[in-house]
Structure 1
Amino acid sequence: MSDTVVLINTGVAVLAVVLLIVRFRLNPVVALVLGSAYLGLSTGLGVEGTVKAITGGFGEIMAEVGLLIAFGVLTGAILQEIGAIERLVATLLRVFGPKRMPYALSVTIATALQSIYLDVLLVISAPLARNLAPRIGKLGLARMATALAIGLECGIVLMVPGVGTLALAGLLGVPLGKMLVFGLILVVPTVIIAVAIMSFLFRKGWWDPAKDEGRIDQAAIEDGEESAPQPRPGVTSAERPDDAGAPAAVAVDVAADPAVEERRHVRLIVLFAPLLGALLLIGVGAITEIAAFQNPVVDFLSEPVIALLLGMVGTSLVGRYTAGRKRIERAIGAGFRESGQILILTAVGGSLAATIKEAGLGDILGQYFTAQTAAPLLMVWVIAAVLHVAVGSVTISAITAAGILAPVAPVIGLDPVLIALAAGAGSLFAVHVTSNTFWLLQSLMGQTTRGTLKTCSVGVSIASVVAILLVLPLSLVV
């Protein structure tokens, strides 16, 4: 089959997936499978080859990241249950002060809190950010909303254990330790620079409180919370002894629940120690691999599956001591429910990528690219950006774009971690009205649609551009 036919059919398959999701409101899982089936049959793989590519790609990516995603989501569910997020925000305020709070909050959300399901993290952290906004100044709401949006979205696809990051690493065969190191190198300056650019624009008069700020619509908040995974009842808004400076009234679910046990007071560092320890073990594994140092114990403990398992078990034990066994079991049950759709969607993205690979797209594109040019990285960024504008899903657009370019990496000698970072960066472009995050940020932060277009859509798009501009010079040394 000619190269032109393969290229055309690949384009048709991707376009069909987008149309099925956007125009016909078909479930993304079903749309991705149909697109994979069309591509396999139209490029001559045959019935058996097509089915093998779809199921093989599904199984391969599940084997790579299935347990990682599950352990990460469960750890996040427990941290949510024991009230770790509210205490962390209060500590950040005390340490960094109001002026630096947007940077501190954004970096923390993008790095340390990515095990928590995005909508849950947003529902918990937005009221805290909103209550802190007046303490920053007249531009407080704009800056805190922007910091929240940038931190949430960047972490998903650039930082381990964000679900998009895990999926990209599994799809492209990037060792998770390496993904953690390079993701951290990229996400921290990306977030800081993007927040700084937006703060500069706001100071130059780009924010109009009369038009960009609205009232807090309680009905909208309730609707948003119903569509998102729910914080557990009993999350308190009262200040704790170590929460000096925290807002006394936080709009988080405070419904009385007589069955909920009182939390024991545990130092904040203890609550996060198991998760941070797991990430540290993964990072150590990456460093020892680079240094060609081998030790059976270190090698075993630094395996991502083992490290995140230990982190989840440790967080569970701390949670049991803090909040009681029943509440932790309930949080784990909620985590299992949340992880289901994430796992299936991620794995089906692997099906499309495997079909694209079997169709021979890598060999075709490899004729036009070299590892010394920016073309493949810019191409994956543009594809991910266009897909995100159309579909509205950061994870789907990142996985699909990376899947299209994944076969190119071995052909031209390009490090797959760069494709992963470029795809993640592109998928951040133009978060807009098709995203649930957009509307949750609008209602929970008290912005108008115009204001949310500035803080969320423009803010995250600037982060997307900053990220790819940082990835390109990084490609010269990797």
Structure 2
Amino acid sequence: MEPLTPAYPTWVMLLIAAVAVAVLLVLIAKVKLHAFIALVLVSAVTAVAAGIPVADVPTAMLTGFSTTLGSVALLVAFGVMLGRLLEVTGGAQVLADTLIGVFGEKRAPLALGVAALIFGFPIFFDAGLVVFLPIIFAVARRFGGSILIYALPTAASFAAMHAVVPPHPGPVAAATELGGDIGLTLLIGVPVAVLAWIPGGYLVGTRLGARFNPVPTNVFAMKDSEESPAEETTPPPFSVVILLLALPMILIGLNTAITTLRTAGTISEDATWASALVLIGQTPIALLITVLVALLVLSPGRFPMGRATEIVDQALGPICAIILITGAGGMFGGVLRTSGIGEALSTSLSGLGMSLIVQAFLIATLLRVAQGSATVALTTTAGLISAQVAAAGLSSFDISLLVFAIAAGATVLSHVNDSGFWLVSRFFGMDVITTLKTWTVLETTLGLSVFAIAGALWVVVP
């Protein structure tokens, strides 16, 4: 459903959004109402209060809900299936042991974060985090301490790559809208993401992890009635584990490469082989293929194929609530977008007389806070400043810096209208307040780090 013209002045729309968020926090944190019920209830009331026609309220709610479920449910489901198979066969422990052997016990969070930076190059945030969950739990189980010491730096790695580096959709769309060079944005974006992750993701993440110690439900854990993987199976070799983790990255990377070459006209749109590669490189299909390969290579000698149904069932049960709450978070964000709150904000800010890079960051930040979606904030902000960029005659390098500034604003202040907020919250057993104190802070420091680097280069490089 397309955003409507705001029904009230900007300040009224912002007040409605602020009250909605406050009521949602009270219902979940104080009243202890289930998050799914609270999100649906507040979404409906907010839609009416923000001036969405009553007949369109169900459509506005279901659009946000179904869009989020469509992008998250399959990724989470196939991801936890793969994770459960790696856990049951001992593959997750093999990878954890190998990483720790290379980096050392004290650098376990660094090892996970570096691995996530590498795997996060072509894989979306949601898919990458889910695939890495069994590794995070395996490392935390071995060394003890808060799960967040290992989870937050890893999640920050995927967030940094997703926000800043092509081929992820946000930076690609922003660079295209501004007339930039996607290849140059990629080359500069990788070091910017890594340099921003060190203070904003790794250092802050490990310190926040040491302060908070939630007790998550390990969706990959063995039941008491099950024997441990070490007792009944021989763990797969490290090379097999890496193959299974790298396979979706390779397939998705092929999709990205083919799509880019088609856009450039190098490959014909009618090429059947290219269409086939694009199909198998779609993230849900890539993960489905990976799960099937995992069954084929992990099952022989470890468990009968008939037991696969039991194994994946044990993984899918605990994530149903996670998927529903994440979808409801998308519903709330979708209602805010449909109400026109984002349009009201952007219209009031786009004409301010300030440095273009600061303007880009602030507009993206306010859009992110207002409606939750980082990708929407990226693409909308790029569209709003594109005319100014064209008039300024900026170089491709400067346009890349603007893309990073927009990405920084689209990263900060993740909160209850962001589906990623709920994904992290539920997987790692955090209540809303703890998630605000950890994930929201982490996303903010990560975004500010990206903006600091982009701003410094904007000033220093002529």
The TM-score, its normalising length taken from structure 2, stands at 0.65
CA deviation after TM superposition for structure 1 residue 56, in Å: 1.8
The counterpart of 2:299, out of the listed 315, 320, 323, is: 320
1:342 corresponds to: 322
Cα deviation digits, residues 236-285 of structure 1 (max 9, x gap): xxxxxxxxxxxxxxxxx8x8739998324532121231331111221232
Counterparts of 2:43 and 2:219, CA distance in 1: 30
Residue aligned with 1:321, SS: coil
2:290 corresponds to: 311
Counterparts of 2:233 and 2:437, CA distance in 1: 38
2:397 corresponds to: none
Cα deviation digits, residues 28-58 of structure 1 (max 9, x gap): 2222212221221112222211111001221
1:114 corresponds to: 129
Residues 9, 42 of structure 1: 8 Å contact kept: yes
Counterparts of 1:258 and 1:463, CA distance in 2: 36
Residue aligned with 1:114, SS: helix
Match runs of 1:421-436 below 5 Å: 422-427=409-414
- Would the alpha carbon gap of residues 191 and 7 (structure 1) be closer, same or farther in structure 2, given more than 3 Å must change? closer
Counterparts of 1:299 and 1:16, CA distance in 2: 44
Residue aligned with 2:348, SS: coil
CA deviation after TM superposition for structure 1 residue 125, in Å: 1.7
1:60 corresponds to: 67
**Does structure 1 residue 361 correspond to structure 2 residue 375?**
no
Q: How many residues align?
A: 385
2:4 corresponds to: none
CA deviation after TM superposition for structure 1 residue 186, in Å: 6.5
1:470 corresponds to: 450
**Does structure 1 residue 150 correspond to structure 2 residue 140?**
no
1:24 corresponds to: 31
Cα deviation digits, residues 270-306 of structure 1 (max 9, x gap): 1231331111221232233334354223222222222
1:231 corresponds to: 221
Q: Any stretches of 5+ residues in structure 2 without a counterpart? A: 1-6, 120-127, 175-181, 268-273, 387-401, 416-420
CA deviation after TM superposition for structure 1 residue 149, in Å: 4.4
Match runs of 1:209-228 below 5 Å: 224=215, 227-228=217-218
Match runs of 1:93-172 below 5 Å: 93-97=100-104, 101-108=108-115, 112=119, 114-116=129-131, 118=133, 122-130=136-144, 148-154=150-156, 157-158=159-160
Counterparts of 2:44 and 2:404, CA distance in 1: 28
The counterpart of 2:250, out of the listed 280, 290, 307, is: 280
1:412 corresponds to: 384
Counterparts of 2:428 and 2:73, CA distance in 1: 28
- Would the alpha carbon gap of residues 457 and 286 (structure 1) be closer, same or farther in structure 2, given more than 3 Å must change? same
Q: Any stretches of 5+ residues in structure 1 without a counterpart? A: 131-140, 163-167, 203-211, 214-219, 234-252, 388-397, 441-451
RMSD: 4.9
Counterparts of 1:43 and 1:258, CA distance in 2: 54
Paired-residue identity, %: 22
- Would the alpha carbon gap of residues 129 and 327 (structure 1) be closer, same or farther in structure 2, given more than 3 Å must change? farther
Counterparts of 1:399 and 1:83, CA distance in 2: 41
CA deviation after TM superposition for structure 1 residue 383, in Å: 9.3
What letter is aligned with 1:412? L
- Would the alpha carbon gap of residues 88 and 375 (structure 1) be closer, same or farther in structure 2, given more than 3 Å must change? same
